[in-house]
Amino acid sequence: MLTNNNIAVTGLGVVCSLANNINDFWSALLNDSCGIKNWEDLKHLDFKYTHASRVENFECDALQRGFLFSVAAIDQAIQQAKVASQEKWGLFLGTTMGESAAFEAIAEKNKTLIPEDYTGFGICKRLQQKYPKIKTFQCFATACAAGNYALNAGLDALRKGDITIAIVGGVDPFSKIAMTGFSRSRAMSPSGICKPFDLDRDGMILGEGAGFLVLEKVENATKRNTNVLAIINDCALSCDAYHPTAPKPDASGIIDCFNQILKNNVLKHSKIDWISAHGTGTKLSDQSEAKAISNVFKAYKPYVSSIKPKIGHTLGAATAIEAIVSVLSIQHNTIPHTINHTNSEFDIRIPKQPVYTEVNHVLNCGYAFGGLNSISLFSSWN
């Protein structure tokens, strides 16, 4: 361990296609519900693939959808954490594209907008106005690993004592640009069914959403008499430096992250109860991830599952929402299953039903275009 300063997770908030609050979200993860649908509007726009996982019943200005998702998730998280007024907040946001609808509107020439106002920086500025206790913020545009990058920065700022409360999360509203791009990259599922690690998997489904966590030092939470839901120990980062979009075939970057996090935190392999996988359902990404897991976990095989068949790939929000699921898994001693999984291609242990077992250590994985690899570690407290 780099430091003895344990960092607690004391609040959680989520917005995604399954639910707009933590309790409903957790229930939906444990049953067979799925937020993926076929969308007529996408058909009319001449998209080749028209399945997506979008948030319904959330009417808002399309240009502020990311900001408003964030507000909805942050409000839940700070309410649960019962954050005191004298605390010094820092905001750490991960996003892939920010308010993608603004870039689409500029291209459609139906609005005069300044693009920079709609990046993740713009979202952070608006969040700072909404929550004046935010003294400092950082925005990471590290694609589908952005949530873990934000977690890493929040963890570091708390340990250094720069802030007392870290509001950490990720957001990406639905993006027609991403929908087009993943389709043209042949990453989308023609069947509309996301099947991570399955022999018959045929691609990913795009999602949207936001996930935010409140982090603080355990001693701060204890002093405030706030529940410690779990602790976040560490986050490991690496880069493949191999290809703009494809993962490195030998998975060495991911393997480095696994080894680094186990070594730095003095954890035996057998102590890992669950790997919350990136599990997009694409041929190459799943192959590379499974290869890394098999390589690192040889004698002992932890459970591995992905929630993307339920909520789609929420891009910059993905590792933040999956961090929330990691915490919930520890809180409830339950490992969510992977739906749509029938024929395993890899030698990894994928639960087809929720697993009710003691959960003490969870690894939360996210990989991204640009060759980014990221893994965060969550543990039970007491």
Smallest distance from the beta carbon of 256 to another protein, in angstroms?
Answer: 7
Q: With respect to another protein, which residue has the nearer C-beta, 263 or 352?
A: 263
Q: Which of 4, 23, 46, 57 binds another protein (CB under 8 A)?
A: 46
Residue 374 to residue 148: CA distance in whole angstroms: 6
356 touches another protein (CB under 8 A): no
Smallest distance from the beta carbon of 377 to another protein, in angstroms?
Answer: 13
Closest CA to 273 of 239, 302, 313, 241: 302
Q: Which two tokens stand for residue 59?
A: 């009417």
Residue 123 to residue 139: CA distance in whole angstroms: 9
Q: Which two tokens stand for residue 145?
A: 């690993």
341 is catalytic: no
| Element (DSSP H or E) covering residue 374 | strand 372-379
Q: Which two tokens stand for residue 327?
A: 């915490």
243 is catalytic: no
- Sign, Cα dihedral of 152, 154, 156, 159: negative
Packed helices 283-296 and 252-264: angle between N→C axes, nearest 10 degrees: 40
Residue 339 to residue 342: CA distance in whole angstroms: 9
Residue 16 to residue 247: CA distance in whole angstroms: 27
Q: Which of 5, 33, 180, 357 binds another protein (CB under 8 A)?
A: 180
Q: With respect to another protein, which residue has the nearer C-beta, 142 or 380?
A: 142
278 is catalytic: yes
Q: With respect to another protein, which residue has the nearer C-beta, 176 or 341?
A: 176
Between residue 244 and residue 273, which ones bind another protein under the rule CB under 8 A?
Answer: 244-245, 253, 256, 260, 264
Smallest distance from the beta carbon of 183 to another protein, in angstroms?
Answer: 7
| 3-class state of residue 38 by DSSP | strand
242 touches another protein (CB under 8 A): yes
Stretch that binds another protein, among 15-23, 58-66, 72-80, 114-122 (CB under 8 A): 114-122
Active-site residues, by number, are 144, 278, 313
Q: Write out the residues near another protein by the rule CB under 8 A.
A: 2, 45-48, 96-98, 100, 103-104, 106-108, 115-116, 118-121, 124, 138-143, 149, 156, 160, 176-185, 237-245, 253, 256, 260, 264, 368-372
